[in-house]
C-alpha cells in the first residue's frame, strides 16, 4: 500500500503594498517548491518582448475578455490603467483537483473575489513592510521617481495596508529569508489540513484493516 494520501491543492494568495517584497518572495517560493505553480492571468494588454503566451499571460482581445467575464470564466478580474486582467478558472481548478498548489500575486480586491468564489481552497497571506520609513526607502531605491510619485505610492500603500485584517496570515518582511521560511511554514501546515487530504478516509480505512 502506498503511503501517499491524495490531496486537493490550495490557492495561496500573497498580497502586499508596492515595495514590501511580495514579488521577491513569490519568486523564491516558486524556486524552492516544485509542488506550487504560478497562476497565469489573461490580459488585454499587448505582449511585451521576451513574454511567452501561456507562460507569462494568456493574451486575448478586449472582446474575448469581455465574453469570458460575461460567461463567468474568471475567478477574479479587474481593469488597471485601461488594460483588463483576469484569472481563468479552468486551469486553476484543474491544478487543484490534481493536488497541485497555485500561487497568486494579486491585490486585496482580487483576493476578495477569490474568497467569494472558492473560500475553502484559499489561503491568504498579507506581507507588511517593517516600517513606514523602510517602505519609503525601498520605493526610493528601486525606481528613480520624483518625490510626488513616491508620495502618491505611499498614499496608495496606506490604503492597501488597511485591508490586512481580511487575510488569514500576516507576515512582516523584516528579513527576506525569515519571511520566506514563514510562508513555507504556512504552506506546509495548510497542505496537511484534514479537509484538504481528500484521500484520508481511504488511507485510514486501509490502515485499520477496513474494507
Handedness of CA 40, 129, 108, 167 (dihedral sign): positive
**Per-residue confidence (pLDDT) for residue 144, from 0 to 100:** 62
d(CA 66, CA 64): 5
Q: What pLDDT band is residue 151 in, cutting at 50, 70 and 90?
A: confident
Three-state DSSP state, 182: helix
Given a cut of 80, is residue 126 above it in pLDDT?
Answer: yes
Find out whether 154 and 136 touch, Cβ atoms under 8 Å: yes
d(CA 12, CA 190): 10
pLDDT digits (tens, 9 = 90+) for 168-206: 999 999 999 999 999 999 999 999 999 999 999 999 999
Find out whether 21 and 112 touch, Cβ atoms under 8 Å: no
d(CA 183, CA 14): 9
Q: What pLDDT band is residue 2 in, cutting at 50, 70 and 90?
A: low
Choice among 9-13, 19-23, 181-185 with the minimum mean pLDDT: 19-23
Q: Is residue 63 exposed (0-12), middle (13-18) or buried (19+ Cβ within 10 Å)?
A: exposed
All domains in the chain, ordered by first residue: 11-194 (3.40.50.300)
pLDDT digits (tens, 9 = 90+) for 36-49: 999 999 999 999 99
Q: What pLDDT band is residue 1 in, cutting at 50, 70 and 90?
A: very low
Q: What pLDDT band is residue 142 in, cutting at 50, 70 and 90?
A: low
Amino acid at each position: 500500500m502506498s503511503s501517499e494520501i491524495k490531496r486537493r491543492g490550495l490557492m495561496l494568495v500573497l498580497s502586499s503594498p508596492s515595495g514590501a517584497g511580495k514579488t521577491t518572495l513569490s519568486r523564491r517560493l516558486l524556486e524552492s517548491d516544485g509542488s506550487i505553480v504560478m497562476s497565469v492571468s489573461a490580459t488585454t494588454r499587448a505582449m511585451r518582448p521576451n513574454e511567452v503566451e501561456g507562460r507569462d499571460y494568456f493574451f486575448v482581445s478586449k472582446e474575448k475578455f469581455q465574453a469570458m467575464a460575461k460567461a463567468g470564466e474568471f475567478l477574479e478580474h479587474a481593469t488597471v490603467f485601461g488594460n483588463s486582467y483576469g484569472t481563468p478558472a479552468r486551469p486553476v481548478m484543474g491544478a487543484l483537483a490534481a493536488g497541485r498548489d497555485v500561487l497568486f500575486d494579486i491585490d486585496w480586491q482580487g483576493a476578495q473575489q477569490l474568497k467569494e468564489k472558492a473560500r475553502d481552497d484559499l489561503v491568504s497571506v498579507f506581507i507588511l513592510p517593517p516600517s513606514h520609513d523602510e517602505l519609503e526607502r525601498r520605493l526610493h531605491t528601486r525606481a528613480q521617481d520624483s518625490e510626488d510619485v513616491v508620495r502618491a505610492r505611499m498614499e496608495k500603500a496606506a490604503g492597501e495596508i488597511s485591508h490586512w485584517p481580511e487575510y488569514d496570515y500576516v507576515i512582516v518582511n523584516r528579513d527576506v529569508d525569515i519571511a520566506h521560511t514563514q510562508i513555507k511554514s504556512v504552506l506546509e501546515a495548510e497542505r496537511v489540513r484534514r479537509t484538504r487530504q481528500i484521500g484520508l478516509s481511504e488511507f485510514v480505512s486501509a490502515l485499520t484493516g477496513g474494507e
